[in-house]
Amino acid sequence: MDEIDLKILTMLRDNSRESLGKISEVLGISKATVSRRLSRIEQEGYITGYTIITNPSRMGLMKGLISLQIVGTAVNAVIDQLRRFKEIESVMRVFGDHGLICVAYTTSVDSLYELIQNDILKIPNVHNVEVDIVIDRLPINPNAELDVSRANGPGSK
């Protein structure tokens, strides 16, 4: 992963539909070079997928972060149970006060409460639940991981 690779990733982070021609023009390299580099970056696992960013509030949804304390070592069993709920987008394993943080989408505070009370708290080994409702997402540096990679990558001191 060199500086050109990081620039390609930065451009794709800004617009995952950016054309190879535009990337090659901006970076001053051939379209074939961009294509080869992009294929290698994908094969090496630096890119795990391409996506869009939706606006949940336009769809009548709210986003909640549900933090779970897990008793014992049953984290994987809890994750398997969480997979049953269509409202849960993703689960993050974390170090700290909670073992898992779930990202969930519901239509109201009441439906979020019902998900927690009627479903999540009934999962064995879930001890405590804390909830945060996301009001707004304010990107500060969407390329932070790329910037840190540049600062700590080859040639840095």
Instruction: Convert the pLDDT of each residue in 39-93 to its tens digit.
Output: 999 999 999 988 888 889 999 999 999 999 998 878 999 999 999 999 999 999 9
Residue appearing with tokens 């969480």: 82
Q: pTM of this prediction? A: 0.79
Its CATH architecture, for the domain 3-51, is Orthogonal Bundle (1.10)
Is residue 157 scored above 50 in pLDDT? no
**What backbone torsions phi and psi does residue 34 show, to the nearest 5 degrees?**
-60, -45
- 1-7 long-range contacts (CB < 8 A, ≥24 apart) are 1/41, 1/46, 1/149, 1/153, 1/154, 2/153, 2/154, 3/150, 4/29, 4/37, 5/37, 5/41, 5/46, 6/146, 6/149, 6/150, 6/153
In sequence order, what are the residues at sequence separation of 6 or more whose Cβ sits closer than 8 angstroms to the Cβ of residue 81?
123, 124
> Taking the domains of the chain in order of start, what are their residue ranges?
3-51, 56-134
CATH of region 56-134, choose from 3.30.70.920, 3.30.750.210, 3.40.50.10300, 3.40.50.300: 3.30.70.920
**64 strand-pairing partners:** 104, 133
Taking only the tens place, the pLDDT of each residue in 91-136 is: 999 998 899 999 999 999 999 999 999 999 999 999 899 999 999 8
